[in-house]
Amino acid sequence: MSKRIVSALQIGSSPEGTTATIEKILSYESQIKESGTSLVVIPEATVGGYPIGSNFGAYVGYRTPRGRGDFKRYFKQSIKIGNDPECKEIKTLEGLSKRTGASLVVGCIERDSYTLYCTMVFIDPQLGYIGKHRKLQPTASERLIWGQGDGSTLTVVDSKVGKLGGAICWENTLPLLRHSMYAKGVQVWCAPTVEDMPMWETIMKNIAFEGRLFVVSAVQYVPSATEMGYGVPIEGSDNERILPGLESSDEPCLKGGSIIVDPFGKVLAGPLRGQEGLLVANIDLDLIIEGKYDLDVVGHYSRGDVFQLTVNEKSTDIHFV
Amino acid sequence: MSKRIVSALQIGSSPEGTTATIEKILSYESQIKESGTSLVVIPEATVGGYPIGSNFGAYVGYRTPRGRGDFKRYFKQSIKIGNDPECKEIKTLEGLSKRTGASLVVGCIERDSYTLYCTMVFIDPQLGYIGKHRKLQPTASERLIWGQGDGSTLTVVDSKVGKLGGAICWENTLPLLRHSMYAKGVQVWCAPTVEDMPMWETIMKNIAFEGRLFVVSAVQYVPSATEMGYGVPIEGSDNERILPGLESSDEPCLKGGSIIVDPFGKVLAGPLRGQEGLLVANIDLDLIIEGKYDLDVVGHYSRGDVFQLTVNEKSTDIHFV
Amino acid sequence: MSKRIVSALQIGSSPEGTTATIEKILSYESQIKESGTSLVVIPEATVGGYPIGSNFGAYVGYRTPRGRGDFKRYFKQSIKIGNDPECKEIKTLEGLSKRTGASLVVGCIERDSYTLYCTMVFIDPQLGYIGKHRKLQPTASERLIWGQGDGSTLTVVDSKVGKLGGAICWENTLPLLRHSMYAKGVQVWCAPTVEDMPMWETIMKNIAFEGRLFVVSAVQYVPSATEMGYGVPIEGSDNERILPGLESSDEPCLKGGSIIVDPFGKVLAGPLRGQEGLLVANIDLDLIIEGKYDLDVVGHYSRGDVFQLTVNEKSTDIHFV
Amino acid sequence: MSKRIVSALQIGSSPEGTTATIEKILSYESQIKESGTSLVVIPEATVGGYPIGSNFGAYVGYRTPRGRGDFKRYFKQSIKIGNDPECKEIKTLEGLSKRTGASLVVGCIERDSYTLYCTMVFIDPQLGYIGKHRKLQPTASERLIWGQGDGSTLTVVDSKVGKLGGAICWENTLPLLRHSMYAKGVQVWCAPTVEDMPMWETIMKNIAFEGRLFVVSAVQYVPSATEMGYGVPIEGSDNERILPGLESSDEPCLKGGSIIVDPFGKVLAGPLRGQEGLLVANIDLDLIIEGKYDLDVVGHYSRGDVFQLTVNEKSTDIHFV
Amino acid sequence: MSKRIVSALQIGSSPEGTTATIEKILSYESQIKESGTSLVVIPEATVGGYPIGSNFGAYVGYRTPRGRGDFKRYFKQSIKIGNDPECKEIKTLEGLSKRTGASLVVGCIERDSYTLYCTMVFIDPQLGYIGKHRKLQPTASERLIWGQGDGSTLTVVDSKVGKLGGAICWENTLPLLRHSMYAKGVQVWCAPTVEDMPMWETIMKNIAFEGRLFVVSAVQYVPSATEMGYGVPIEGSDNERILPGLESSDEPCLKGGSIIVDPFGKVLAGPLRGQEGLLVANIDLDLIIEGKYDLDVVGHYSRGDVFQLTVNEKSTDIHFV
Amino acid sequence: MSKRIVSALQIGSSPEGTTATIEKILSYESQIKESGTSLVVIPEATVGGYPIGSNFGAYVGYRTPRGRGDFKRYFKQSIKIGNDPECKEIKTLEGLSKRTGASLVVGCIERDSYTLYCTMVFIDPQLGYIGKHRKLQPTASERLIWGQGDGSTLTVVDSKVGKLGGAICWENTLPLLRHSMYAKGVQVWCAPTVEDMPMWETIMKNIAFEGRLFVVSAVQYVPSATEMGYGVPIEGSDNERILPGLESSDEPCLKGGSIIVDPFGKVLAGPLRGQEGLLVANIDLDLIIEGKYDLDVVGHYSRGDVFQLTVNEKSTDIHFV
């Protein structure tokens, strides 16, 4: 049977920090179970936070001490990723995956030595943590706070809903990255993001159509700072925001827009805007076969004789032998 | 000054054949002049025709004699492309370009020896014919009648509206082809097509956004066979349709959908559906700079260290030395 | 004879833009001639400008339209680099080099398609433009406006004062980049920068000592915006600043600090602070031999059996063949 | 809590030999305790001695018998290093570490078969001896008396003050060695040395800044031979100096210059010159995070795609299986 | 105190057989005691005999019955080696060692099942039998009667005169074997042999110099068969020689040439030729330190990064688990 | 025919410097021709000089300025090696080789960037420069002035007299290096040296015997400084010695001792002492076959199952790709 249920959990980081964010994710446990979903995609940077609107005190030519302090506080909300027992947030998420029977794809801020990465983590109900993908190219001000992933985490994993892969936020616009992922046989494209502009729907539909696969994009929803009671953040006070960047405003910080699309570009669910929630859709993997009959950009439709793509998957880490 | 006018001529091939089609194009001369446009994109296969609905008598394992006859008639409507005086349709189009001052990008069926290609031709008001691009990968049944272009016609040309390049119909879905064109610095993406599904708009907006360039897509509009009086085409009669494939129906054969989009994915004109017409928009090339500031998939946003693309632009023709 | 004269031209970009900046450089012609110098290093981003203090409207998660406008204006002050006649600023600098007999190493903002690079250009009195180095890793907010160079511009060139190479601003802190340059036999390390902190002197002395070579670091000196009469920049007015980032203040925008150091870490001239000027020093290349007797980190002192460095000098550009 | 106390013990080898030197170190026990320090770095070659000014009778092409005798006496002051009970100097130092609660990093002359190495030893208050680093590349005349370490002792250990690593004397100038250590996550860089030139301060500040870590450099202080009463050393007499190399003079043999620097290159304590003493400073490990925000040469600032470093950590010893 | 006395017992096997040979060795007991020597090296194959001049009836393609008989008689003179009480020759030698206080290194023909080995046995005054080394590679016709040792007997033992090791006869020419022994720290190289050519002196001096150690080589002295009264050996008679191979001649069967050399290649005693005798020399182990100062082929002079030697010390015996 | 003539040119560097030394070599042209030799080995460091007796002002812990000056003068006498036209000394030697028909193996001081190497150069009469070997491990004070070769120049070349290889001066004592060379099939071992002690003859005879090959060792002969009129070298005077290290004395600086040995260790010519001269011998390569019948340490006599040698021939240079 090729029919499955997939979902995007539209949620936002807690301004209280990572511990509170993890609790918030766990609060969806019964809803996930009831939905019967086999996959939950959680937005970019949910665990660790997306410091919307901060410039981390960076100007061309200098940085402010307050910006450095912002970075330090942000750094401390990031997590370590791996199978080590010290990766306790991963352990907690593994528990959720096991109890619900759903694969999780979770947007996290990863700490590796002193560099942060915007990472999506793949967690399997049986196997636990099975891999990760680091954003290759942070966008604009993100380059101030996140490192660049290298080719070693173009991860694709198996799951009950087929092969999972994808990209984070604006790296979804990279044609060569997408082509690489298509070539690895991705069937359900996971796109955690914080991007809430209307154009996002276009980009997601295009990937579904071009790649002939299902797209599940989870977008953060974060209410306005006012609504969250963060009207007057004062550094050092009890009311101190943990995530830098939440300015007082009546507008939502991040509006959401999670969406699920089929291989012909047809929207199956969403876009969900202006609220938290679990967005669910039924998918039929056989539809991919039908789509590829028309168009297979990494198969009968490609022109490998003209376009030769080489993907360097070697880690750029220093190599101790 | 970075401001220009561009246009798509939504038109269909004449069932009378290529001579009639050329006349039809010429009939738009005064409208082109008046619009002040510096670029006219004319749909895929307009010159030579798109035999919608024919199967050219092809079945797995055999072809019918009638299909062979269809091909012969179709072949005879194709044109030769180049600077030779014998390329008389090209000469005619050069005249139009010169008189209107507009660059033309024209979808043609090209004959090279005994193979047909789906080609877009670039004509400059001063220089005349300056290049062509052959569709790299025909879609589905097109593979029965058209050859595959090779890497030697990934043509990009200069014009008054900036660098012109693009792709034909579904090859617009190829990530590697697009990336190659972006790397060549295309500023106005020309997308002649016959594709009239609603998803086309998504694909065009995505290219504009991803490539940070202007998109001008011209789609054929062909009325219903009924409307054209081709209700009972009989093989061998005087009333014989010249283009195979026009079946009797009340639905338009090709519905149109021409569109012009800016580098942020915003639609400037169109989509125009259900009629012929010249679709016009003002563009400001400086918007590309602003767009690239955010995203430049072949520049600051690329990851050439991870994704190394080699494009083979050598002709696959036999090489005499 | 191993004795030569080298110099750093401490200067700042003109807020009037690139044309005015080039004129300013040319105004030093007679002083350069009289000094007898065979090398003039000109600071980072002098041609094109360093938009100190601007954040180009970038915040985590979004950008402002004004920031995009800032980028557009900045983009228009950048130059193309190469031997093409259209690279007119390069031609002008070649003239200066020829007339003074001095090699020039000039910090420029380079435009390549739509991406800007922070580049140092090597100009030879006889040969004209002979090479360039693009900054590999922009710092902090620079990542918003400049692309990353790749390994193909780790350029080292011959000159009357020996082999020239170096690095721009903070990439001087990269141990592996420096080691690569040392291995290429650099004798005079050119370090154009805008960095005016006191620690810069330490970094320069350390490179001289570690690399056993002469260091010529040219730092921009830009007076306060007030002093330059850019007190009330109003967008769109005649008084509009061309370079974004010059805020009204009584402090110099960039304080300078150009310095020349010998292979034992001894300061030969400078640091020059708080004014424009041509900083000159006599050097004796034979001192390198004496220094290397003690320490040669790429020769008798290296441990290539333990530390094997591979430098990828391939361009990451798309490759058309 | 990220705040700690670190120290450098500026001391010199006793001309009486290793036993006396160990006693001298032990005499600082109460001062170490009172200071509250969690780390004591002891200079290069303190245990075993640095035979300043000797040439061990070596000339190009021959050696003198007296030089051989010098080596034999020097050899006998060296120590064995490891967990064996026969390594009695190590046992004694383990006791000091345990009683004071401070990690020790001690410069020793190590004997392995008939070759001597200049080694730094890591001793933990709880675990005792936990590792060592052998100088990779002795400088100048040191090459006559010390072997080269191999890649198997690029040791980094955990401690109360964070990860400890470092380099000895002039190997601090090796860019590739430093990069390797940074990649291992060193937080407190230990630099035992005898180098007392003013430039040492520059080198230490540069490492702190470049590596974004704390530097604790301990330099030997050895008074003048005259002051120590070694005016007329006569071979074979009761007054025979044990360490070769102490010539009669009123100048200190080694002037000291111990220093402690923070990750921004700011000097926290020292340089201490012209006397023995325990140099102490408070450090806050969180400052590393702030520093790495700007610059992380092994993280977001590295260009692993361009510079690929492989470190061979295999021992070059003969391998018996 | 590093001063010791060492000796080589130049002796030959008795033609009467092993029992007689052992008695001959014991006859030197008082001379050994008086000499004060702490080490006695006894030549290769002394116990068991060296059948000089026999070919054991072996020809390419066949062997003679007489040759088989020769082997049987030779086999019966061989001994078992170990701590078993049945190893009675070893027990006897242990007594000699205990009474004289001298370590013995004795060349024996060892029987292990039905294979003979040319073995050197190490006997300690206190501990008795402590190890053996089997010749790795027999020379020429020796390969007809002796097996090859494996890597499990590259034995080095401690003694009053320092670490003992070495090689037998022509295996002294193997560079890799010697390097392995040097790496184990041998201080007194024992070289039992029957080789009496003048070149032997060169080989021994070279080992001493190259390995920076003392060499004690003991060579068999066997008078002429005539002198021993073996003028007309008749197979099967009472007068039958026990050792095959002693041909009637006036020349000594084995001429001797025992020698003792210091770590600089200086001959301390010998070569002793043409007679039996105990060759004695005083040695000072500290001379090794002085020699290693110049040259240590397994220490500061080695290039383990270029030449990586792995020694397989596993026994090649069948392994029952 | 396996018979050939080989020779060692016993000569010394001219104190006038490299130009004069090359002339001196050329002065032997007619004698080389007349001898009929096919190989001329020229001593270690002849071209460039061996600064006997200098310590280059190096003492443990410091260097004198005069020592640095010595190094600079020494550096300037070194040569570049390769096929470049700028390697003019190599070109001159190629001429000599061509005119005499003899292969040359020449000891040179090689300059590579700022490190000097002690190198032997192989020059072929037809092909010119064909390879080089850099000394792997300089001895004692040589480590102050020469770098270490790596495994990439374990060069063996073909010639009329068979395969040539060898080692320079004391690296002839390295067992693993020799074994590596034997394994490459060297037939004529070239040993350029300055070592004039009597033990050198032993070392050469041992190599010939152990390796079963011909040895041609050329030793420098340099008369006493007095004899050369360098009694009162004054820095800066006309009488300034170019090579540092020649002290006034009546003893020859280097006594010579060139020697030619056959594969059984038999001396064919020399040792020549106390004078310059061309030492010549007839060799018969077939003798190697006879010698290997007995002993082949890299063939039937080796024990590769016990001793596994891995030779790392990769260059340790930085690798640009």
Give tens-digit pLDDT for C63-121: 888 888 888 899 999 999 999 999 999 999 999 999 999 999 999 999 998 899 999 99
Residue of B153, B142, B154, B7 lying closest to B81 (CA atoms): B153
- Nearest residue in D to C153, CA atom: D306
A210 has a pLDDT exceeding 90: yes
- Nearest residue in F to E138, CA atom: F301
Contacts of E151 in chain F (CB under 8 A): 303, 305-307
The CATH number assigned to the domain holding E156 equals 3.60.110.10
The whole-number pLDDT of residue B141 equals 81
Q: Give the integer Cα–Cα distance in Å for F320 and F315.
A: 12
Instruction: Note whether B199 contacts A209, CB cutoff 8 Å.
Output: yes
**Biggest CA pair distance of chain E:** 63
Give tens-digit pLDDT for B93-132: 999 999 999 999 999 999 887 788 999 999 999 999 999 9
B299 inside domain: no
Q: Which of A44, A94, A110, A195 is catalytic?
A: A44
Average pLDDT over residues E305-316: 88
- Closest Cα of chain E to C297: distance in Å? 18
Pull the structure tokens for residue B37: 């446009």
Average pLDDT over residues E138-156: 88
Partner residue facing F202 (CB), from E151, E202, E316: E202
E252 has a pLDDT exceeding 90: no
Contacts of D238 (CB under 8 A, 6+ apart): none
Could you tell me if E306 lies within 8 Å of chain C, comparing CB atoms?
yes
Q: What is the share, in percent, of chain B residues with pLDDT greater than 70?
A: 91
The whole-number pLDDT of residue F250 equals 77
Give tens-digit pLDDT for B184-193: 999 999 999 9
- Closest Cα of chain C to E182: distance in Å? 23
Average pLDDT over residues C185-214: 97
Partner residue facing D296 (CB), from A63, A114, A318: A114
The whole-number pLDDT of residue A226 equals 73
Could you tell me if F170 lies within 8 Å of chain E, comparing CB atoms?
yes
Give tens-digit pLDDT for D176-218: 999 999 999 999 999 999 999 999 999 999 999 999 999 999 9
Q: How many CB pairs under 8 A join D and F?
A: 70
E233 has a pLDDT exceeding 70: no
Contacts of D52 in chain F (CB under 8 A): 59-62
Catalytic positions of D? 44
Complete DSSP assignment for C184-216 = TT-SEEEEEE---STHHHHHHHHHHHHHTSEEE
Cβ atoms D41, D217 nearer than 8 A: yes
Give tens-digit pLDDT for A238-248: 444 556 666 66
Q: What is the share, in percent, of chain C residues with pLDDT greater than 70?
A: 93
Handedness of CA B17, B18, B19, B22 (dihedral sign): positive
Pull the structure tokens for residue C194: 């805008």
Could you tell me if C32 lies within 8 Å of chain A, comparing CB atoms?
no
Contacts of B294 in chain C (CB under 8 A): 63, 68
Could you tell me if D318 lies within 8 Å of chain F, comparing CB atoms?
no
Cβ atoms F65, F132 nearer than 8 A: no
Q: What is the DSSP letter of B310?
A: E
Average pLDDT over residues B90-94: 97
The whole-number pLDDT of residue B248 equals 61
- Closest Cα of chain B to D212: distance in Å? 26
Contacts of F313 in chain C (CB under 8 A): none
Question: Which pLDDT tens digits describe chain F residue by residue (321 residues)?
Answer: 679 999 999 999 998 899 999 999 999 999 999 999 999 999 999 999 999 888 888 888 888 888 888 899 999 999 999 999 999 999 999 999 999 999 999 999 999 988 999 999 999 999 999 999 999 999 888 998 999 999 999 999 999 999 999 999 999 999 999 999 999 999 999 999 999 999 999 999 999 999 999 999 999 999 987 777 654 444 444 445 566 666 667 788 899 999 999 999 999 999 999 999 999 999 999 888 888 877 889 888 888 888 999 999 988 887 777
The whole-number pLDDT of residue C181 equals 96
Partner residue facing B175 (CB), from A136, A297, A310: A297
A299-303, C81-85, E124-128: lowest mean pLDDT where?
A: A299-303
Which of A7-21, E247-261, E304-318, F63-77 ranks highest by mean pLDDT?
A: A7-21
Count CB atoms within 10 A of the CB of residue E27. Answer: 10
Instruction: Note whether E308 contacts D320, CB cutoff 8 Å.
Output: no
Instruction: Note whether B294 contacts A210, CB cutoff 8 Å.
Output: no
Average pLDDT over residues E197-220: 97
Mutation target among E302, E303, E305, E307 for the C interface, most CBs of C within 10 A:
E305
Count CB atoms within 10 A of the CB of residue B79. Answer: 21
Contacts of C150 in chain D (CB under 8 A): 305-306
D306 inside domain: no
The whole-number pLDDT of residue D190 equals 98
- Closest Cα of chain B to A151: distance in Å? 5
E44 is catalytic: yes
Could you tell me if D312 lies within 8 Å of chain C, comparing CB atoms?
yes
C264 has a pLDDT exceeding 50: yes
Could you tell me if C298 lies within 8 Å of chain F, comparing CB atoms?
yes
Domain count, chain A: 1
For chain C, the chains sharing at least 3 beta-carbon pairs closer than 8 angstroms are: A, B, D, E, F
pLDDT band at C257 (very low <50, low <70, confident <90, very high): very high
Mutation target among A133, A139, A148, A174 for the B interface, most CBs of B within 10 A:
A174
D26 inside domain: yes
Contacts of C305 in chain F (CB under 8 A): 150, 312, 316
F308 inside domain: no
Mutation target among F137, F146, F318, F319 for the C interface, most CBs of C within 10 A:
F318
Beta bridge partners of residue C129, listed in sequence order: C123
- Nearest residue in A to B141, CA atom: A294
Helices then strands, counting H and E runs in chain B, come out as 7, 15
Kind and range of the H or E element at E22? helix E18-26
Could you tell me if D113 lies within 8 Å of chain E, comparing CB atoms?
yes
Handedness of CA A93, A99, A101, A102 (dihedral sign): negative
Catalytic positions of B? 44
- The pTM of this model reads 0.86
Contacts of C165 in chain F (CB under 8 A): none
B87 inside domain: yes
Give tens-digit pLDDT for B142-184: 888 888 899 999 999 999 999 999 999 999 999 999 999 999 9
Average pLDDT over residues A114-128: 95
Partner residue facing A60 (CB), from C60, C63, C142: C142
- Nearest residue in F to D195, CA atom: F61
Report how far apart, in Å, the C-alpha atoms of A265 and of each of A192, A205, A207, F196 are. Answer: 18, 5, 8, 87
D near F: at least 3 beta-carbon pairs less than 8 Å apart: yes
Three-state SS string over B244-294 comes to CCCCCCCCCCEEEEEEEECCCCCEEEEEEECCCEEEEEEEECHHHHHHHHH
Q: Name the residue with tokens 């209107």.
A: B100
The whole-number pLDDT of residue C232 equals 41
Q: What is the share, in percent, of chain A residues with pLDDT greater than 70?
A: 93
For chain D, the chains sharing at least 3 beta-carbon pairs closer than 8 angstroms are: A, B, C, E, F
pLDDT band at A1 (very low <50, low <70, confident <90, very high): low
pLDDT band at C251 (very low <50, low <70, confident <90, very high): confident
Q: Which of C23, C29, C34, C44 is catalytic?
A: C44
D310 inside domain: no
The whole-number pLDDT of residue D67 equals 86
Could you tell me if D147 lies within 8 Å of chain C, comparing CB atoms?
no
Rg over alpha carbons for chain F, rounded to the nearest Å, is: 19
Complete DSSP assignment for B9-25 = EE----TT-HHHHHHHH
- Closest Cα of chain F to E15: distance in Å? 27
C234 has a pLDDT exceeding 60: no
Handedness of CA C29, C34, C38, C43 (dihedral sign): negative
E308 inside domain: no
D near C: at least 3 beta-carbon pairs less than 8 Å apart: yes
Partner residue facing F321 (CB), from C183, C185, C310: C310
C47 inside domain: yes
Instruction: Note whether B310 contacts A311, CB cutoff 8 Å.
Output: no
- Closest Cα of chain C to F146: distance in Å? 7
Could you tell me if C264 lies within 8 Å of chain D, comparing CB atoms?
yes
Complete DSSP assignment for A195-209 = --STHHHHHHHHHHH
Cα-to-chain-centroid distance, residue A6: 15
Instruction: Note whether A68 contacts D290, CB cutoff 8 Å.
Output: yes
More confident residue, C26 or B246: C26
Range of the domain at C231: 3-292
A230 has a pLDDT exceeding 70: no
Q: Give the integer Cα–Cα distance in Å for F89 and F92.
A: 5
Contacts of F67 in chain D (CB under 8 A): none
Could you tell me if B296 lies within 8 Å of chain C, comparing CB atoms?
yes
Partner residue facing C114 (CB), from B288, B308, B311: B288
* Low-confidence residues in chain D, pLDDT < 50: 231-239
Pull the structure tokens for residue D108: 């020793």
pLDDT band at B73 (very low <50, low <70, confident <90, very high): confident
